[in-house]
A and B are shown apart, each in its own frame.
Chain A
Amino acid sequence: MEFHNILVPVNSSPADEEAITLACRLAKRDKAKIMAVYIIPIDRTLPLDAELEAEVEKAERVLDRMESIGAGESCAVETDLLQARDAAPAIVDEAIQREADLIVIGSAYQRRFGQFSLGDVIPHVLKHAPCRVILYHQYTPDKVE
């Protein structure tokens, strides 16, 4: 199994840092390209090309962090910033556009209505992804039921 283009969708969750480390380790063997993508969700009250300075600043910080984690693993991480209505279809689109052969996506433990939940993004990506997906679930011992 070889990977050449690995897409890692990131936001500011702690699971992303581990997901990018995993991607770097996978990439090293096949000299694959890693693309970290941050998606700014745009509220429907705003146009898609609205300029959201604070959001962009936050995104830059996250992407910088991803680059430095990559550098620590001696792996070049390409970073990209997108604005979209919904993150999930944008991730799938980006994977198609960039001909990704693997998506590594991090998931932190979260609950919704008192139940464990994967959120909206991950199920959509798993269902529609045009390539393999590795779901990296962060281990948080105090939260496991």
Chain B
Amino acid sequence: MYIIVAGAGIVGFHVASLLAEANHEVTVVESSEEVVESVRRQLDVKTIVGNAATPRILREAEVNRANLIIAVTNNDETNMLICFLAKELGAVMTAARVRNPDYSGYFITAARSPSAARKVIRPKTLGINLIINPEVELADAIMGMLSSLYPTPGENFADGRVQIREFRVDQGALADKSLADISFPQPGVVAAISRSGKTFVPAPDEVIQKGDHVYLVAHRESMDEFREMFAPPQHPVRNVVVFGAGRVGFLVAEGLEKHGLTIKVIDENTTRCQEIAARLERATVLQGDATDPDFLIEQGIPSADAFIATTESDELNILCSLLAKNLGVSRTIITANKPGYVSLAEAIGVDVAVSSLLQVASRVTHFVLHGGAISAPFIGGKDVQAIEFVTSATANIAQRSIAEVGLPKGVIAGAIARDDTVTIPPNDSVIHPGDHVIIISSLSATPAVERLFK
């Protein structure tokens, strides 16, 4: 695909590097010459210096043949304008990062008469196919973790019939066993293993080690039984402490409050505390220093069920959540701006670290579709992708079984979903046109997988 990335900030750079690694043709447009220079030095992409919100620069970037333009400059309005212009100039798909929650993308026009139909203006009407709001994505991911009994968010496939979930191997039951020796209570496939910061697709004889993160593909309804195998049962969360009253902190607090949870929000900034206190109905807002153990104990933080650190500073988030963990909070979740800190934080005791960058990247890659694929999120970092294909009648793999075709190295078939039936593991069943096939593939093997479904 030919993809234009407008804006080379942290997100733009990360997305561009990801797409370039996946062998897409990428052009980065950025107004600062210095930034462009650093992109040119580090990435194998075409670069253009200039304002992407002008038709001249967009034309220079050959927007007319772009399959996708991703607008991730610092400014919401600029991003929307870029998408609008790009669409008019011929780009097929557009995605904009829009942070302001007031631009949800939908608004209803005033009516001609009280009873007349109201027209709903959609982002698509404005030329935007996808609105990405990193803060909302992060808050959704955090709430997803807290609302379910799972410690981590899951990815859904085939209209939610198939799930991929991450489990950490802490107990001895599974550690030091090879995949071939493990018998699961329900049909399931280990799709990927994350070990010391690297994610890979396991060979059938791979031995699971203590501390590994295992990604499991299974039918949604049987996922609960797997959870019991991996993690001790968790009790539902009732009291939550949110540290950091920024956008993410506010969204999380607001969302959890709606679900009837007891929330305490801590922030150091008095003005911010006052602002947020006025906007939250029932939450207790505390102004203070969350790195001070005495303050935390005084405010009853140790009795909370979960501690969520969402400040701008990754280091502060890690420190405070470790402190909370030390005081007795059972679940800690932090947001990390630097993706490199995710595995580090989890290694030193934070339960889950979520990175807005990885969330955005995963949203974008859902969109950068491979031939015939309808969804392609990353699994644990950026080395492995789960790809959902809908088999066409002319696909190379149609009317054959996976065992017959033979998958390339570093690729595993996760599931086949047909009407109401889900087949896991799918290796021996014949794939019919229209089947949803979920394939887990390392990034380097993805082109070979795509050829099977062409």
Contact = CB atoms under 8 A, between A and B. Distances in A.
Contacts of B119: 80-82
Interface stretch (B19-27, B72-80, B109-117): B109-117
A93 B116 contact: yes
19 contacts: A39-B117, A48-B111, A48-B114, A48-B118, A49-B108, A49-B111, A51-B108, A56-B122, A80-B119, A81-B120, A81-B122, A82-B117, A83-B108, A83-B117, A83-B120, A84-B118, A85-B115, A93-B117, A94-B117
A61 B111 CA distance: 25
B124 interface: yes
A90 interface: yes
Contacts of A79: 124
B101 to A, nearest CB: 13
B132 to A, nearest CB: 16
Interface string B379-416: 00000000000000000000000000000000000000
Interface string A48-80: 110100001000100000000000000000011
Nearest 3 A-B pairs (CB), nearest first? A84-B117, A90-B117, A81-B120
Contact of A51 (B106, B114, B116, B122): B106
Given A56-B106, A83-B108, A49 B118 contact: yes
A75 B111 CA distance: 31
Interface residues of B, number: 12
Contacts of A60: 122
Nearest to B123: A60
Interface of B: 106, 108, 111, 114-120, 122, 124
B116, B118, B122: which has the most chain A beta carbons within 10 Å?
B118
- Chain A contact-residue range equals 10 to 19
A74 to B, nearest CB: 14
Given A81-B119, A83-B117, 11 more contacts: A48-B118, A49-B118, A51-B108, A56-B106, A81-B120, A81-B122, A82-B119, A83-B120, A84-B118, A90-B117, A93-B116
Contacts of B108: 49, 51, 83
A48 B114 CA distance: 8
A56 B107 CA distance: 11
A39 B120 CA distance: 10
Nearest to A50: B108
A90 B115 CA distance: 10
Contacts of B115: 48, 85
A84 B114 CA distance: 11
A48 B120 CA distance: 11
Contacts of A56: 106, 120, 122
Contacts of B118: 48-49, 82-84
Nearest to A82: B117
A80 B122 CA distance: 8
Contacts of A85: 115
A60 B121 CA distance: 12
A81 B108 CA distance: 10
Contacts of B122: 56, 60, 81
A85 B111 CA distance: 13
B106, B115, B119: which has the most chain A beta carbons within 10 Å?
B119
A84 B116 CA distance: 7
Nearest to B111: A48
Nearest to B119: A82
A40 B117 CA distance: 10
A82 B120 contact: yes
Contacts of A48: 111, 114-115, 118
Contacts of B117: 39, 82-84, 90, 93-94
Interface in A18-71: 39-40, 48-49, 51, 56, 60
Interface in A70-126: 79-85, 90, 93-94
Contacts of A82: 117-120
A50 B106 CA distance: 12
Contacts of A81: 119-120, 122
A83 B118 CA distance: 5
A90 B116 CA distance: 8
A94 B120 CA distance: 13
Nearest to A42: B118
A62 to B, nearest CB: 12
A83 B117 CA distance: 5
B151 to A, nearest CB: 27
Nearest to B108: A49
Contacts of B106: 51, 56
Contacts of A49: 108, 111, 118
Interface string A110-144: 00000000000000000000000000000000000
A5 B393 CA distance: 33
A83 B115 CA distance: 10
